[in-house]
Structure 1
Amino acid sequence: MHINPHLFILPRTPRQIVWDYKSHTQFELDLEYSIRLAELIENPNIFDTHNKIDNQFLNTGIMTTSMPATAKWGWDDLSKIFHIGTKNIPCEYMPQNIQEWSKQYLDHCTEVLAQAAPCLGPDHHSSLELIALPEPARLPAGDLTDALIKRKTCRSFTGEALSLGEVSTLLYLSLGYLKERAGGTDECVAEGQGARRSSPSGGGLNASEGFVLARNISGLAPGVYAYHPAEHALSVVNPLPESSLGQLLCGQHFINDLPMGLFISVRFDKLWWKYEHSRAYRMAYIEAGHISQSFQLVATVLGLGTWLTGALMDDQVETLLKLDNSAEQPLFFVGCGQSDGQVMCKELKELLSRQDLPS
């Protein structure tokens, strides 16, 4: 006998939860069952066919008669649990044709809409005074190919100020609710779900939000601001932290001169409202990636260099954005500014040049 290799155990007083993250099944074990499982984990060979608990473990898949084949995984177990645990969305019935799918999807949406919806706009700092942004500029006509080719990750910035107009355009075209698309919403879209961004969003929920870290923006005091896409406005969240930007981003101090950065967060409560399965967690990161790319392409057209990272000092960033213990969490950072276009900072180049010198 063998212990199922896809078990994850969670303490939940007064029970122990055993989750089979591959088959998406979970069980609550009392003390007697928990003790027996611990004994079998230590020595699966003591499995007793006459033991009621042992047989229940076998019937539920906690124990197996043979060790299942598992793929080689080069990372830690946490990433493996996340990947496997969000595969193969459980489905009680798989639609066999478009008519069945349509009815199933409509029934699901009806059920979701019968529940109280989370605040559809940013729920952070909504009572604070809003700072209106200038009308976003219309980008010059050009080939998208040019922007895609020119976009590059830079690690050397001059620190030169951005204009508030540039910031307005960047935010509107990456996170704003596009007024140009307001009249094109399908009549079937539920009330409150009609806002459209330049990037796709899982379920049309627009679960991502943005926080501007303003170091050097003409017409805007340095600080941290929440972006309100419906109003195309900002509200003050915090002053700039005493520590450098690089300190918040795992020591990447070459970007301390960035005049503007954008923390992209996700409202998990919006995703939970419509999608109960953990697969939606993947969509949060995909949506953040879409927004990051849109931001970078707009910045490139504006003649700015861009830089991005997922390496955050999460607890410090959450505190800075006032998201401690919140259903909204920061996932990603992207910034832009005037740059000489260098992929490496000069300090790293100097180190590399020394290695090339003869000993």
Structure 2
Amino acid sequence: MSRLNRYYLAPDLVITYPDGQPQLILPSVKRTFKVDWKVCEIISMFSSEDTSLQPIFSESMVTNIIDHLVKNGILIDKETDHNLAIEQIVAEWQDWDESSWFLHLQTKDTKFETTEEGRLQSVEKFRKITSPPPQYFKCNCTSSSIKLPTSSKLLDQTLVNSFMQRRTCRRFSEKPISLQNLADVLFYSGGILFTNDTHSYGIVAKKPSPSPGGRHATELYPIVNACEGLRSGVYHYCQKHHALHLIEAEEDVKPFLNEVLYGQDYFLNAAVTVFYTSVLERLKWKYKTSRVYRLMHLETGHYAQNFLLTGAALDLGGFVTAAFKDSVIEEKLGVCGIREVAMYVSGIGHIVPDETTRSDIEYAQVLPEGIEIRLPIGEHS
């Protein structure tokens, strides 16, 4: 067994048991190997001081298994060159546990067809093997529907003003926002501008927010605390009909929000808090790679940015947070947490006026002239 000292296990090796049978995964090279218990026992010799094996293992069997593990990069020769970047990622990211570096390596450098000829061949192949596309929106309007006002043009604001006025607000007044305000932030975040029937991927929706492949997996669920014309409670925004569906009326949503947001009580007075979910089948239908997990988060971020900028244009305070209890909100919204999952949280409301003077602000030297910036609210004693 002198060969044990010659090799070490690949730093990104992961062993899973998806069907009750072991499989080895090397995310850095996107390779998966189904193995049996004998291979696992040989692998354990390289991570344990106990190198004893059962009598069934002959020297030739051990040599053969080791040679295959070396050939496939599961065992690495200490004397040969190896990818230090992978070792550094695994070592540097340990504070975020294995899921962080595994996801990064598994989704890094994912292949994408860029040539026109290759793309067309890929599309034709896709059309032959795939099922019809999933519905691009979620609608409960047949059971209940609250029609929202047509979105306003925000004529009194410019994009620059929205940029300069967007600040994270942690002190909201209890003043209700208007139904028009809510209609605007929902429409400019997830509302449908138009649809068109594509040659390759069926009917796609086009929105103010971009989406990978036009799949628009994101759904919006407003939790209404104080909005004129609406009961307090949990709603779903139907992007197809620009309408709200009441999921559950609640006299006071603050206890629930306090629980689900891990006690971030500075957000509780927000007039409306919106939870974003992602419907996985819309993305999985087109994308068969784990890189789609990155895309889910990117799309949600696009929606949330539009939400915040629209809120700023309406002179409202806004916030976003990723600190929430997934399972609690999924249960509240009535989503399974498997095919539709919680992704992000944002909210808007009227800002408590700040009468303090900030002495710790240093303005950047490259700001446009004559532009007013909304400063963060000062600390009150």
TM-based fold match above 0.5: yes
The amino acid that maps onto 2:41 is I
- Separation of aligned partners in 2, 1:309 and 1:341: 22
- Which of 225, 228, 232 is the matching residue for 1:222? 232
- Separation of aligned partners in 2, 1:294 and 1:119: 23
Give the match for residue 12 of structure 1. 18
- Separation of aligned partners in 2, 1:341 and 1:52: 74
- Report deviation, 1:339: 0.4
The amino acid that maps onto 1:122 is K
The amino acid that maps onto 1:160 is K
Q: Does 1:81 align with 2:63?
A: no
- Report deviation, 1:119: 2.9
Q: Are the counterparts in 2 of residues 308 and 333 from structure 1 also a CA contact under 8 Å?
A: yes
The amino acid that maps onto 1:99 is E
Q: Deviations over 1:176-201 (max 9, x none)?
A: 101xx45xx586464321x2110110
Q: Are the counterparts in 1 of residues 173 and 350 from structure 2 also a CA contact under 8 Å?
A: yes
Q: Are the counterparts in 2 of residues 151 and 296 from structure 1 also a CA contact under 8 Å?
A: yes
Number of residue pairs aligned between Structure 1 and Structure 2: 338
2:203 is paired with a residue of what secondary structure? coil
- Separation of aligned partners in 2, 1:252 and 1:111: 50
- Report deviation, 1:232: 0.7
Give the match for residue 37 of structure 1. 43
- Which of 179, 198, 220 is the matching residue for 1:210? 220
Q: Does 1:119 align with 2:135?
A: yes
Give the match for residue 279 of structure 1. 291
Q: Are the counterparts in 2 of residues 172 and 232 from structure 1 also a CA contact under 8 Å?
A: yes
Q: Are the counterparts in 1 of residues 247 and 333 from structure 2 also a CA contact under 8 Å?
A: yes
Q: Are the counterparts in 2 of residues 244 and 256 from structure 1 also a CA contact under 8 Å?
A: no
Change in CA separation of 1:38 and 1:303 when aligned onto 2, cut-off 3 Å: same
- Report deviation, 1:89: 0.9
Change in CA separation of 1:142 and 1:131 when aligned onto 2, cut-off 3 Å: closer
Give the match for residue 164 of structure 1. 179
Q: Does 1:297 align with 2:303?
A: no
Q: Deviations over 1:247-271 (max 9, x none)?
A: 2112211111111011111111111
What pairs up with 1:1-359 in 2 under 5 angstroms?
Answer: 1-42=7-48, 51-66=63-78, 68-69=83-84, 70-72=87-89, 73-74=92-93, 75-76=95-96, 77-90=98-111, 98-107=115-124, 109-111=126-128, 114-122=130-138, 125=140, 128-178=143-193, 181=194, 185=196, 188=199, 190-193=201-204, 195-240=205-250, 243-340=255-352, 349=379
- Report deviation, 1:208: 0.7
Q: Are the counterparts in 2 of residues 228 and 234 from structure 1 also a CA contact under 8 Å?
A: yes
Change in CA separation of 1:147 and 1:140 when aligned onto 2, cut-off 3 Å: same
Note the aligned Cα RMSD (angstroms): 2.7
- Report deviation, 1:272: 0.9
Q: Are the counterparts in 1 of residues 133 and 202 from structure 2 also a CA contact under 8 Å?
A: no
Give the match for residue 363 of structure 2. none
- Report deviation, 1:101: 3.9
1:329 is paired with a residue of what secondary structure? strand
Change in CA separation of 1:126 and 1:279 when aligned onto 2, cut-off 3 Å: farther
Change in CA separation of 1:121 and 1:187 when aligned onto 2, cut-off 3 Å: closer
The amino acid that maps onto 2:202 is E
Point out where structure 2 has 5 or more consecutive residues left out of the alignment. Answer: 1-6, 54-58, 355-374
TM-score by length of 2: 0.81
Change in CA separation of 1:104 and 1:149 when aligned onto 2, cut-off 3 Å: farther
Q: Are the counterparts in 1 of residues 225 and 232 from structure 2 also a CA contact under 8 Å?
A: yes
TM-score by length of 1: 0.85
Q: Deviations over 1:130-169 (max 9, x none)?
A: 2211222221154311111111111000021011121111
- Separation of aligned partners in 2, 1:31 and 1:127: 54
